[in-house]
Each structure stands twice: as C-alpha cells, then as structure tokens.
Amino acid sequence: MTTHTLTPSTLEEIAAARVRIGGTVLRTPLVRLYVDAPVEIWLKLECLQPIGSFKLRGATNAMKRIAEESPERLSRGVYTASAGNMAQGVAWGARSLGIPCTVVVPDTAPATKLAAIERLGARIDKRPFDAWWRVISEHGDPATAGTFIHPFADGDVMAGNGTIALEILDDLPHARTILVPYGGGGLACGIAAGVRAAWPAPGPQVFACEVESASPFDAALRAGAPTPAGYTPSFVDGIGSKRVADEMWPLARTLLDGSLVVPVKAVADAVRLLVERGRVVAEGAGAAAVAAALRGTVHGPVVCVVSGGNIDSAKLAMILQGEVP
C-alpha cells in the first residue's frame, strides 16, 4: 500500500484556497447562541453552505486546483467515497465543471443525503461499510474511472477547510476554544492548522468532538496509536468510524488538543436546542460540538463548528418530540 504523507496546511496554502473558492463557497456567519450554559457559545454555521455542509470548501479547492494545474486529470471525471456530505461537495464541483462524478457510499448512508447526491447528477455506487472504507484507506479504487478526491486525507481539501479558521479569526479574534466534529479528521486538522498558521500565539485550543458510539480518535489518543474502536451506527452518521486513518494520525495527534466524547442522546438534545433556541437545523455531526460545549469543560468564548445540516426530516421530527432516532 502506498504511504501518504500529509503535512499541516501553511498560511500561504490556506490563503490561496480562500481566493480559489471565493464566489463558490459561502463565507458563513458566526452567531452567538443565547442559552444558559457554563461558557459563551458561538456557532460557525457551515450548515448554510449551498450543499448544507462545510465539505464544499475542501472539494472546491481540490478540484479547482486540479483544473488550473492539470486539467487532463479531469478528462474521465472524478469520484469520491463519502457518507453524503463530501459526495455532495464533489458532485457540485463536477456539475459546475461539466464532468461526470461517481460517489462510493456505505450501505448505511441516509436517504436524505443519497437523494441530494442524485439531484446533483452524480452516480451512486453503494457498498458494504468495510468495502466503502477500503476505498478511503487505499485512496481510491482502480476499478472506478476518474480522479479520486479523498474526503479528508488530502492537502488541498484540508487547506480549503482551513479557510474556516481565517473567518473565525476575522470575526472573533478573542475566541479561546474551537470545537470541531471529528469524522476523518480533515476538518479538525484543517482548522487547527489554520489556527496555528494565522493566529497570534498561543491562539485558541482546537478539540475534536466525537460520540460514544464511534470515537476512534479518543481511542487512538488513549492507546498512543490508531487502534480498532467500537462502532455502533446511530443518527450521527457524519462522524465516527472504526479506526483513525493511519495517514491522519500524525497530524491529528500534534495539531489537536484532545477529543471530547459525548453521548448520542446529548447530541440529539443539542439538535433540538439549536432548532428551538437558535432556529438552526443541524445534522448529528453538526450538533456534536454544541453538545460538547454545553458540558462546560472548556474555556470560552467557544466556537462550535456546525459542520452540516443534512438530516432526514423523519429523524429530525423524532428528535423534536424528545426521542433519539
């Protein structure tokens, strides 16, 4: 297997990404969440992106850079492996470039995200979870045509994600903590790299947020290396896996200040709170940071990255009625 060495995005790379994605990606608002909480909480509303997720940043930066520097690589189209949000980001970009797109999805992918992928014109290739994860861990599938856009372990993808840090610095330079949902690690490491590159030292701490049903980064921190972790599917489908990706581990362990693990029920409560008090619709992964902030274990002001808002309406209805899907 090919070894993929990743380095933290530099300020130059993130600034270039900011210019490259301008006009396509929304500069999302940072708004205060006025609730009774131990710390001052702010929401970075990536759920307001055109595809309902931050993934548009990294996908757009990666694909536009390829189009600028090696357009021949796009002649057979692109593909990615995603539970839904990166799929929409790549499909959005492929449609704008007029090229075909295939998305390899796990058989647990929610219907709302699959429908959104199809609306954007991408072809869906559904596989069992382990087969889907193999495409991610091996950085592609030789049997699938096109250029593979990795959902997280890619320098251009992380530089695109790092633009979020620059926007937070513009809007709330005195933030002390940034909480980021941890799926593959591309969002958390991208933001953390942006903080280190752009913020005057020491800058805010950046913590990964995970759920008890799937917290591989916390398991890796405890073991000192990537290790198999328990995995139970839940409505929080945008984060969590069975193991931290080997190529992401060196970045994550050095850039991030730790992992905050919350119960699935706490995430459901945060989804409901965001709707009722903030008028914000967040998917499970998007509400995980808020659930962690409400525990009051970090210093404020706290910025919670609401990474996405693509949640099945039936599951949202259950949560608003006080149930956990």
Strand partners, 260: 209
Residue 94 phi/psi, 5-degree rounding, is: -65, -40
Domain with CATH 3.40.50.1100 in the chain: 11-53+155-320, 56-148
CATH topology of domain 11-53+155-320: Rossmann fold (3.40.50)
The verdict on domain 56-148 having CATH code 1.10.10.10 is no
pLDDT at 3: 55
One pLDDT digit (tens) per residue for the chain, 325 residues: 445 789 999 999 999 999 999 988 999 999 999 999 899 999 999 999 999 999 999 999 999 999 999 999 999 999 999 877 899 899 998 998 899 999 999 887 777 778 888 899 999 999 998 899 899 989 999 999 999 999 999 999 999 999 999 999 999 999 999 999 999 999 999 999 999 999 998 999 999 999 999 999 999 999 999 999 988 889 998 888 889 999 999 999 999 999 999 999 999 999 999 999 999 999 999 999 999 999 999 998 999 999 999 898 999 999 999 999 8
What's the confidence (pLDDT) of residue 262? 97
71: helix, strand or coil: helix
Torsion, CA 3, CA 191, CA 155, CA 99, rounded to 10: 120
Residue-wise pLDDT for 24-72, tens only, equals 899 999 999 999 989 999 999 999 999 999 999 999 999 999 999 999 9
Q: At what angle do helices 313-320 and 264-278 cross, to 10 degrees?
A: 90
Residue 178: the pLDDT is 98
Q: Which residue has the tokens 């790092």?
A: 162
Token pair 């940043």 is found at 57
Q: What is the pLDDT of residue 129?
A: 85
Residue in the block written with tokens 């709170």: 273
CB–CB of 31/304 below 8 Å? no
290 token code pair: 């808020």
pLDDT per residue as tens digits for the range 197-235: 999 989 999 999 999 999 999 999 999 999 999 888 899
Q: Which helix (H) or strand (E) holds 59?
A: helix 55-69
